[in-house]
Chain A
């Protein structure tokens, strides 16, 4: 039913059947690679970049892609499906429950008001009430893909306005289903087969839908974890990618087969898995696919804009687009006031959602098939929806550059953005070392997000109530998913040198603001970490070896305080020795081979130790004082 291939209204130049898939892929990827960074640099955001790229390679400019824009649209719709899966992953059920008010209240109000008002306007322009209602339903929806992607890129998803937008989008995605069901009833001619198919086996369908939803929830709860653990234990990374894709595609197919929106199905699956320790790993694996497919979707939107039609009726189309955006904006803004979204956030919310959505394409074409709306109506409206989608990034830029700064001055006291599970500290590696520092921080109420790759480890730690996630912290996407762009510090505590170096270098490169502290397995490793720009490192053994040293000296009869001071002094000496060695190494790199160098280094260490021994503090030694006082007394006597 959501097969966009059959419904895209703007069939244009036929594709050469010999054109290979690879050629098309090349065109799309090249367009993306050229246009998106450019658009970003201009401050336009990636969405607009993709759409412009689509316009350029589309049939009216370069003509590199034509009708196959449609078939690509089909694959690209999957980007939306994946996006909702990722969105679901970030939404724990508890939070979804918390949002139930905005989803039902705000979302419901937005859809109903917009449908009625647009229906009223079109009727005033001479539409039948059935046609008006159909248009109202089509245009009441906004673009989940564009809005979420744009908000995400600007880091606004967790702001109040962002959350309100999300709630409304979620309601709209659900509302598509009843809309599709209602559409045939609006037909003035007797129902055709498509309509029958939709509403005859009512109860069977209901049972099926409930069954599928329950299946997703139960399987997500009880089945996925053992499967993921089994896959994780193989330590083959691409297996995880495979199972993540399998999961999303499978759920999408399943829900589509019972007539639910696949996006909704994967969203549900995402929510169910949001509590899983594999959440970040899943997210990391899906993310690149999601991003690319969404990109292709935006390109397709650009490529399918019907320029000849636009040029024929420029004023009419412009009027529709502006009318659409203004009407939606006004309704959203009033609702935002009614639902007490703060001032600045209400502007964001209203700008963000003031466009038509991808589902309008589907609904318009369906309305055409069931004879509710004639092609003369759907063609300009579909074009207007595509153009309004293109306007969204521009509106958000206006908000960011002009409205938000004004608002900020107007009311300085505003709610901080809702931050849910963003911890200031990320620990990579929860083995013997990471687990101590992690528990230490936890005990002092410092929120920590833990990443580890040993499934058994994770299982135990989760049992005692710690938040541990499965995943390889040297992957940018996983660090992203764990919140590295917002966290204050990453602690690298993995027990493999190479891995630790890799994590430090990736983190420092991609998250320049993130402070990175690391565990060094030995001094050699410490030097490496230093080269990879770790902000601080500690030798994993020096601390505990010296602590045991204190115990040894105390056992030998030293006073514990003296032993303790000795250990502190030695630790300082150790740091200094290392610094000298580093310098020595740099100076003599060219001359010494490795073996020779390490022999020299050991000698240096011993020499440094020998010097050091002669230098303790005087430990409240009063010998000289005694001598002086005694000699004075003798003099007096």
Chain B
């Protein structure tokens, strides 16, 4: 077994995987990677009956947590919300005694229909991706995790095949950098998308 600097847990959520193009491609790029545990929440808990203990053990066993999901209604698909509500228990993930996630990295990998021109002031969606992801950012920080800028594949509805292949490669390299600790965390800017830096 090769040793890695960080073990990565990808919490994947796509409720209609049979209709997915982008997330399917991204998933295929990383799900077999060594050092990465790819955890498909909708497949494991089709009835939403999340096993809290098992999820917490998974978290303890990893050093970085990635949410991968299609951007739906400016947020995550439902099961990721359910997961946060149930798994990030008071006294475990946060609160005076809750320090189990302290120091882990937390990143978001998402695909959105809109592009950069839509996600800005005056654009179709008025706010930037970073701003819309504030709830997740605060959640990560409250749990003592290091928040990473979002990795977003945009124009997901119209993206060309070769662009998608390129994005998938990027995603893989991004996870490798986290795993092997080659990403210079101190050099990351305050805003923007991580794909442009990784």
Residues of A within 8 A of B (CB): 550, 558-565, 619-623, 625-626, 629-630, 633
Contacts and interface: CB of A to CB of B under 8 A. Distances in A.
Nearest to A623: B19
Interface in B11-67: 14-19, 42-44, 46-47
B158 A626 contact: yes
B157 interface: yes
Contacts of B18: 558-559, 562, 619
A130 B158 CA distance: 113
B42 A559 contact: yes
B113 interface: yes
Contacts of B77: 620
Q: Which 6 A-B pairs have the closest CB atoms?
A: A620-B16, A564-B46, A561-B42, A560-B46, A561-B46, A619-B16
B15 A561 contact: yes
B157 A626 contact: yes
Contacts of B158: 626, 629-630, 633
A622 B20 CA distance: 8
18 contacts: A559-B17, A559-B18, A559-B42, A559-B43, A560-B44, A561-B17, A561-B42, A562-B18, A563-B46, A565-B46, A620-B14, A620-B72, A621-B16, A625-B113, A626-B157, A629-B158, A630-B157, A630-B158
Contacts of A625: 113, 157
A629 B113 contact: yes
A529 B16 CA distance: 40
Contacts of A619: 15-16, 18-19
Interface residues of B, number: 17
Contacts of A562: 16-18
Nearest to B42: A561
A630 B156 CA distance: 11
Given A620-B15, A620-B19, A620-B77, 5 more contacts: A550-B46, A561-B15, A619-B18, A622-B19, A623-B19
Nearest to A628: B157
Given A619-B16, A619-B19, A564 B47 contact: yes
Contacts of A626: 157-158
Nearest to B15: A620
A172 B14 CA distance: 76
A630 B160 CA distance: 12
A550 B45 CA distance: 13
B100 to A, nearest CB: 28
Nearest to A620: B16
A621 B157 CA distance: 11
Contacts of B157: 622, 625-626, 629-630
Contacts of B44: 560
Q: Which of A550, A558, A621, A622: most chain B Cβ within 10 A?
A: A622
A623 B21 CA distance: 11
Nearest to B156: A622
A397 to B, nearest CB: 55
Contact of B43 (A561, A565, A633): A561
Contacts of B42: 559-561
A564 B42 CA distance: 10
Contacts of B70: 620
A566 to B, nearest CB: 10
Contacts of A559: 16-18, 42-43, 46
Contact of B19 (A564, A621, A629): A621
Contacts of B17: 559, 561-562
A629 B157 CA distance: 7
Contacts of A563: 46
Interface in B84-125: 113
Nearest to B114: A629
A559 B44 CA distance: 10
A623 B42 CA distance: 21
A633 B17 CA distance: 26
A625 B19 CA distance: 12
Nearest to A632: B158
A70 to B, nearest CB: 71
Contact of A560 (B14, B16, B43, B72): B43
Contacts of A622: 19, 113, 157
A550 B157 CA distance: 30
Contacts of B113: 622, 625, 629
Contacts of B14: 620
Nearest to B79: A561
A417 to B, nearest CB: 39
A621 B20 CA distance: 8
Nearest to A618: B16
A625 B111 CA distance: 14
Interface in B146-163: 157-158
B124 to A, nearest CB: 11
A563 B17 CA distance: 12
Nearest to A619: B16
A622 B47 CA distance: 23
B155 to A, nearest CB: 9
A559 B43 CA distance: 6
A334 to B, nearest CB: 55
B134 to A, nearest CB: 24
Nearest to A626: B157
A359 B79 CA distance: 74
Contacts of A629: 113, 157-158
Contacts of A561: 15, 17, 42-43, 46
Nearest to A617: B16
A629 to B, nearest CB: 5
B44 to A, nearest CB: 8
Contacts of B43: 559-561
A619 B72 CA distance: 13
A557 to B, nearest CB: 9
A559 B16 CA distance: 8
A623 B20 CA distance: 10
Contacts of A560: 42-44, 46
B85 to A, nearest CB: 18
A550 B18 CA distance: 16
A622 B18 CA distance: 11
Contacts of A623: 19
B78 to A, nearest CB: 11
Contacts of A630: 157-158
B159 to A, nearest CB: 10
A289 B47 CA distance: 54
A560 to B, nearest CB: 4
B163 to A, nearest CB: 14
A463 to B, nearest CB: 30
A564 B157 CA distance: 27
Contacts of B72: 620
Q: Which of A550, A559, A626: most chain B Cβ within 10 A?
A: A559
Contacts of B19: 619-623
